[in-house]
Chain A
């Protein structure tokens, strides 16, 4: 499994949205809570489709949630 090169601001965005729970975000994005946990921890890079759903759950663009980090290699 390739190491995640995509950073995310999910934790920060959850905090900014009234400490939204991982379960609530999972419900809004249509995935399981475990997947949100894995994405937030950088253990799993979501598909484009799920990335858009997560961004939409926060009402922001995909690049406000996920950032590609070239130097992470």
Chain B
């Protein structure tokens, strides 16, 4: 297994775990607790930022130009480039899901609670990481 492939599995595992915790926290405490309760807001923010930092830490050693020669080569770079398409579709899908869900739920009220733009942003960040990890793994499956 290539170094980048191992790290993509690690990143996917961490991403799924953190995403599950975020969904569980918001599910148990309620979505509105994100702006009513400071503890929930900081917890969710810390989890998502932690995921982004962890993902950068996982990928950087492999993709950093200085170490690139030893741990990755042109095929790895091509796989990371192709993973962009999975990221793009993941982000578009997330935005479409949010748009349809919020429109349907809040149609009668004619307005959407201010908490949702934050949640949309954080969810897109999480999906971005998960989709890149999945895109990398799909790339290795196709090119191996």
Contacts and interface: CB of A to CB of B under 8 A. Distances in A.
A30 B142 contact: no
A47 B144 contact: no
State the main secondary structure of chain B at its contact with A: helix
Interface in B39-87: 69, 71-76, 78, 82
Contact of B74 (A1, A35, A43): A35
Contact of A46 (B69, B74, B142): B74
B2 interface: yes
B142 A1 contact: yes
Contacts of A31: 73-75
How many of chain B's residues touch chain A, expressed as a range?
10 to 19
B143 interface: yes
Nearest to A26: B73
A50 interface: yes
Scoring B2, B74, B78 by chain A CB atoms within 10 A of each residue's CB, the highest score goes to B74
Interface of B: 1-2, 69, 71-76, 78, 82, 142-144
Given A32-B72, A32-B73, A34-B1, 15 more contacts: A1-B82, A1-B142, A30-B69, A31-B73, A31-B75, A32-B71, A32-B75, A34-B2, A35-B73, A35-B76, A38-B75, A38-B143, A44-B78, A46-B75, A49-B74
Which 5 residue pairs of A and B lie closest in terms of their CB atoms, listed nearest first? Answer: A31-B73, A35-B75, A34-B2, A44-B143, A43-B143
